[in-house]
Structure formats: C-alpha cells, structure tokens
Amino acid sequence: MDSVSFLRAALQAGTPLLFATLGEILTEKAGNLNLGVEGLMLLGAVGGFAAGLATQSALVAIIVAALCGAVGGLLYAVLTVTLQANQVVTGLALTIFGTGVSGYAGRFLMGDIIPSSIRNTFRTIPIPLLSEIPFFGEIVFQQNIFVYCGIALAILMGLYFSKTKQGLNLRTVGENPSAADASGIPVTTYKYIHIIIGSAISALGGAYLSLVSVPAWQENITAGRGWIAVALVIFSMWSPYRAIFGAYLFGGLDIIGFRLQQTGFALSQHLIGMFPYLITILVLVISSIMKRRQYAPTSLGEPYFREDR
Amino acid sequence: MIRISKRAEMPQRKKWIVRLLGIVLALVVMSFFFLFLGHNPLEVYQTLITGSLGNYNRFARTIEFVIPLSLSALGIMIAFKMKFWNIGAEGQIVVGAIAATYIALNFSELHTVLLLSTMFIVAALAGGIYAFIPAFFKVKFNTNETLFTLMLNYIALRLVVYLQYGPWRDPGARGFPKIANFSQNARLPDIFGIHAGWIILIIVFALVYLLMNKSKLGYEIAVIGESQKTANYAGMNVSKVILIALFLSGALSGIVGMLQVSGVNYTLSRQVSGGMGFTAIIIAWLSQIKVVLVPIVAFFFAMLVQGATFIRTAFQIPQSIAEVLQATVLFFALGSEFFINYKLHFEKKAKGRVQNG
C-alpha cells in the first residue's frame, strides 16, 4: 500500500468531516448541541449540487450550499434560542427535515453529474515549493482547494476562539450565559450568529460530498457522516486544531478497509467503521474518569432564559 | 417592544388548543407547498387518511408502525423522566434484533412457544444491557449519556451490516448479502391480521403505566427527575434507581427489535430500525413524558408514515415528503410549547416611566 497516496486520500475523505465538525464546534461553543448536522450536510449537499448543475459555477454552488445550511441553522436557532425548545429533539427534527428535503429534491437530480467546469475548479492544485517537501508536502500540499480551505478554516477558528474579543465572549456565552449576559454580552445575538454560521460551515461538508467526492447525486449521500462529526467534536475536545487531526484520522478509517482488501488483508470495513464511535466513547469515558476540566461548554444543551438567572 | 415572561401553569384545555393550533399551522404551511407542486392539499391529506385508515388491511399496517414506535417511546420515557437523555433507542432496537436473530437462526428446531419466548427474553436482555452500559458510566463517572448513547447507535448499526455481509450471510442467497429468513417456528403469529406484538404493546403499556404512576420505583424515578439532591436527601439509592430504570428503558427497545425481525421482516437487515428509535424520542417528548399520550402521538406518526406510501402512488410525490411533513409538524409542535410556558407582552416603549420587569 502506497502510504503517500493513502494519506492523501485520507485527507480528502476527512475534509467533509472537518467542515461538519468545525461547524458543530462553533455551534456548541455557543452552548447549543445541534444533532442536526446530518440534516445540515444533506441540505448543503443537495443545494450545492442543484445550484452547481443549474449555473455551472463552483462559487454559486458553494454559496447556495452554505445558504441552505444557514437556513437550517436559522430554523434551529429560532426554535432553541428564542422559543426555548429542547435542543436534542430540535436537532433530530432538523436531521429528519434535511433527510426529507434532500430525498425529495434528489429525486429530480438522479443520474445527473457535476459539470466539468466545476470539477475543474476542484482539481488537485499543488502548491509550488511546499508540495515538493518530501512526504509531508506531498500529502498536504497536493490537494484541491476544498482541502486547503478546511485547514485554513480550522486555524482561523482556533485563532478566533483564543485571540479575539468576540471569540472570548462566545466562550463565555457557552460556559455561563447568565454571567455573559450580566457583563453586557448580547447572548441571543451571539447564539444566533454562531449557530447560523456554524450550520453553514457544516453544510459545506455536505457540499464537498456531492460536488467533489462523488460527484453525482446519491440518495442519502452523507451516509451517517454527520453523526461522525458529532463524535469528532467530542474526540477533538472542542478544539478546531485537534479537529483537523481527528477528521483526517476518521477519514482514513473510512477508506482503510477498502485499501486493506486490495492488499489481501481482510479486516471487515464494517468493523473498522465502528472505530470512530468506539474511540469517541473511549475519549468520553476517559475524560470523565480523569475528572479533568470538562471540555464541553458548561451550558451545552441547556436553554438560556434571562429571568431564570 | 416585546417582553417575554414565564407564565403560570396554563389550564390543560388551553394547552391542548395551543398544541393543536401548532399542528394545524404546520399542515397549512405544508398545504402551500403542495399547492406549489400543483396538487390540491385537501386531496393529499385525504389520501393520507384513507391510505392509513381506509380499510382494515391499511389500518393493520398502520398499527404495525404504532407497535414499535410506542414501545420504544415508552422505554425512552422512563429515562427522560429522570432527565437521563437516552437517545440510544435505535441501537437498543438493533441489538435486540441481533440477539433475537441469533436465537432464531441457531435454535430453529425448538417449539414455537419456547423459541419465541427465548427470543423475546434474550432481546429484552440485550437491549437492557445496551442501555445499562452508558447508565453505569453515568452514575460512576458522570460520563455524558446523550453522547454515549448516541455513539452506541452507530456501533450497533455497523454490527448488523458486518453480520449481514460477513459471518451471518446466507450462503443460500446466491451471493446476495442477506441473512437467512426465519423458519416458521421463529415467526410471530398474526392475531386479527396484525402480528401478536400488539398484545405485547397493550401489556407493556399497562405495566409501564403502573410502574410510573403506582409503584415505588416510579415515584423514585419522578423524584430523581425533579432533583437528584432531593432524592439523595430523601435517602434514595439514586444510582441503583438509574441503573434499573435504564435497563428497563433499553429492554423495551430491545423487545421492539425482536418484534420487528420476528413479526414484520422475518429476517435481520440494517433497515431493522429504520430511524424508528429517533422517531420514538420525538414521540416520547411530544407526549410530555406521559404514558397515556404515547400511543396517541405514535398513532399520528404511524399514519404519516403509512399514508405517505399512498401519497406517493396517488400523486407521484416522492415518499421523502413524509419526512418533510413529519419535520414540519415537529418544528411547529416544538415551537408551540413556548407559547404554553411563556407569555408575550407587547408594550409600547414607555418613556419616563419606571419599568419594573
């Protein structure tokens, strides 16, 4: 097995996971657990695909995909932030919604493939010089734009959390919304903005699947990746940097079974498919046993109502 | 300026009016969607009702959805009552189905009654243990149960696929990756044209009602749900109650797994749960964690699912519309709770007046 080509493929398989995970991290940092990631990805996948077919423009496809996610995020935010609905149930409803909408719209997209102009935009573009670094450069810097953007986005998000005032405020909102409110941070606005942007980012993960990975329409194209993203948020302990590593690791696990089969080493892909979830449970259990600082934002999953404080 | 405040308990009747309004509003919104597609929404809804209730056979198919949805939702409810967010029903259904299938395939020569009861017990045990594991870590180390149970779903689903493509693959299926069909002995008999699961549902429903409303354990579950501190203070063994309750919660979903493989599919496949574990969570929630409401809400969802298959053939609308319809109803149902718990005050911005808000 050629390790460079395998790792390169792992990065590509991990990129939709990375986007979905980053989006969910942003949402969860605001204190909201959105189990609708799978639905958001499907909305992004179908919206991006339809827009790509109609306009032949990669940029429009991406924008529409993000907008579809944003609309899903807005729905979720109205229900959970303003109307104080249960986050778990709302998230599940959002997943059902995304599955239904994409299944419905997808009926009319069956058999279509992405035009070559768009596929050309997402071709492999080696970065001069860097791509010549042996091994590391060959893996990381011989990729498509989407992969580069994923890494850049993760780093930007990490910096946003640690270096900017807004990022700090956001963390306060997620940790202790009443304290944030008391210190004059507009809690509701923060939640809305970050949920909506986070949802748009998650939807881009879905768009990667329909525009780049496949690139054709498949029923239920995400195949549970949204749930892996929920797991990845825990695995990476809400850190965008660790999410890069985690997404590529899980992406690698996603494709390794198939590659192993080619080398004649038979470990069922379906058993390997359990690893992401098993590893995530392990992380959950170990971090709770160690009683380390809980990495999850403290108010995660709880609605915030000002008069309760 | 709109101000929001918590309102005092709304009278029961008014609550139901608000909820009903929410559902009606959802149907109105969907009507516009159907109009946009060029269908008469009234005809669509009518087909939905005749498709799910129009004759005995259709009614029977609808009930076959009510059975698993209600049973699972009843189980989930037990956990939710303690504010233990068991969202692992999907996985608990699947492991129950796996356990029942193991017995069905390996002891197929047993007498029907013995075989079916063994499958039933083993499935309940499997589902119960599968929920017990996250409960154990919850009480021991305070491990987040929402995420733990969620992850377990996907492990169970992968396990079925593994069995289906690997060790349990039927060599007689001409290379098609499926698990062998059950022998006649392992199939649940029909009673009045519906598999015998409906009798189990009635029994379980009565038992859960007694458990939650009349038993000591049910009382302890309710107290823990209100406040763990109170429960501790009252000398209850909180950990023990959580563990027992979660075992029961998972066992009910495990039973669902057995009923599906033995009463509906006569084999095990990855579609065994088909998202029912998640729908059941929604049903438990919309039932306000009240036992009596579970079958009613489940019936409504079963109608949507069953009726949608008829909408598809009658109007050429893809079946996914059932999910869109479900989600829309859900969004409105979730939103309507707000208007039950909170009050909106529309007030003009008062200048120079002291506001005591």
Region of residue A110 (left: phi > 0; alpha: psi -120 to 50; beta: else)? beta
- To probe the interface with A, which of B94, B140, B148, B150 has the most A CB atoms within 10 Å? B150
Beta-carbon separation of B6 and A307 below 8 A: yes
Across the A:B interface, residue pairs with CB atoms under 8 Å apart total 144
CB < 8 Å to B94, chain A: none
Q: B152, A103: Cβ pair inside 8 Å?
A: no
Residue type, A99: T
Residue of B157, B330, B337 with shortest CB distance to A93:
B330
Structural domain range at position A220: 3-230
Per-residue DSSP letters for B161-196?
Answer: HHHHHTTTB-GGGTT---BPPPPGGGSPPEETTEET
State whether A271 and B162 contact (CB < 8 Å): yes
Is residue A49 domain-resident? yes
A100 contacts B325? CB cut-off 8 A:
yes
Are B26 and B326 within 8 A, CB to CB?
no
Predicted confidence (pLDDT) at residue B52 exceeds the cutoff of 80: yes
Q: Please, are residues B89 and B157 in contact by the beta-carbon 8 Å criterion?
A: no
- How near does any CA of chain A get to the CA of B49, in Å? 20
| Chain A residues near residue B137 by CB distance under 8 angstroms | 285, 288
Residue B349 pLDDT: 53
Res. B353 pLDDT band, cuts 50 70 90: very low
CA distance from start to end of chain A: 58
Contact list, A230 vs chain B (CB under 8 Å): 147, 150
Cβ pair B158:A89 closer than 8 A: no
Question: What would the mean pLDDT of B255-273 be, rounded to a whole number?
Answer: 92
Looking at the predicted structure, is the pLDDT value of residue B355 above 60? no
In a domain, A109, yes or no: yes
| Residue A152, burial from CB neighbour count under 10 angstroms (0-12, 13-18, 19+) | exposed
Q: How many domains does chain A have?
A: 1
* % of chain B surpassing 90 pLDDT: 46
- Residue of chain B nearest A84, judged by CA positions: B338
- Give just the sign of the alpha carbon dihedral B13, B342, B281, A90: positive
- pLDDT recorded at residue A1: 57
Enclosing H/E stretch for A142: strand A142-143
Confidence of residue B110 (pLDDT cuts 50, 70, 90): confident
Nearest to B142 among A84, A224, A288 (CB): A288
Has residue A212 got a pLDDT over 70?
yes
In this structure, which CATH number among 1.10.150, 3.40.50, 1.10.3470, 3.30.43 belongs to the domain B67-315? 1.10.3470
Q: Where in chain B is the domain with CATH 1.10.3470?
A: 67-315
A68 vs B178: which has the higher pLDDT: A68
Mean pLDDT of A53-65: 94
Tokens at B65, concatenated = 């959805």
Cβ of B150 and A227 within 8 Å? yes
**Of the candidates B6, B143, B320, which has its C-beta nearest A104's C-beta?**
B320
Q: Return the percentage of chain A with pLDDT > 70, whole number.
A: 96
What chain A residue is nearest to B281 in terms of C-alpha separation?
Answer: A89
ipTM score here? 0.87
Higher pLDDT, A1 or A2: A2
In chain B, the residue whose alpha carbon lies closest to the alpha carbon of A86 is: B334
Check CB contact under 8 Å for A285 and B5. no
Tell whether A241 is covered by a domain: no
Q: Judge whether A247 lies within some domain.
A: no
pLDDT score, position A266: 66
Beta-carbon contacts of residue B77 (< 8 Å; ≥ 6 apart) = B208, B212, B284, B287, B289, B291, B294
Q: Is residue A287 part of a domain?
A: no
Residue A305 phi, psi (nearest 5): -125, 120
| Helix or strand (DSSP H, E) at B340 | helix B321-341
Is A168 inside a domain boundary? yes
pLDDT in tens, A267-304: 777 888 888 889 889 988 888 887 655 567 888 888 88
Residue located via tokens 């013995």: B114
pLDDT for position B230: 87
Distance of CA B170 to the CA centre of its chain: 31
User: Does the pLDDT value for residue B354 go beyond 60?
Assistant: no
Summarised one tens digit per residue, pLDDT across range B12-49 is: 888 888 888 988 999 999 999 889 888 888 988 998 89
Residue A23's pLDDT is what? Answer: 97
What pLDDT, on the 0 to 100 scale, is given for residue B1? Answer: 59
Shortest CB distance from B143 goes to which of A95, A106, A288? Answer: A288
Task: Label residue B225 exposed, middle or buried (CB < 10 Å: 0-12, 13-18, 19+).
Answer: middle
CA B190: distance to chain centroid? Answer: 23
Q: Give the residue on A whose Cα is nearest the Cα of B147.
A: A231
pLDDT of B356 over the 50 cut: no
Total Cβ atoms within 10 A of residue B214:
9
- Let me know if residue A203 belongs to a domain: yes
- Which residues on chain A are in Cβ contact (under 8 Å) with B143? 284-285, 288-289
Q: Is residue A270 part of a domain?
A: no
Q: Which of B18, B145, B331 to mutate to test the interface with A (most CBs of A within 10 A)?
A: B331
Across the interface, whether the CB atoms of B137 and A285 are under 8 A apart is answered yes
Instruction: Calculate mean pLDDT across residues B236-264.
Output: 94
Q: Which of A14-28, A69-83, A262-276, B180-194 has the lowest mean pLDDT?
A: A262-276
CA B281 vs. chain centroid, Å, equals 5
Judging by beta carbons within 10 Å of its beta carbon (0-12, 13-18, 19+), is residue B357 exposed, middle or buried? Answer: exposed
Write out pLDDT tens, residues A90-128. 998 999 999 999 998 988 888 888 888 888 888 888 888
Q: What is the pLDDT of residue B357?
A: 36
Cβ(B178)–Cβ(B169) under 8 Å?
Answer: yes
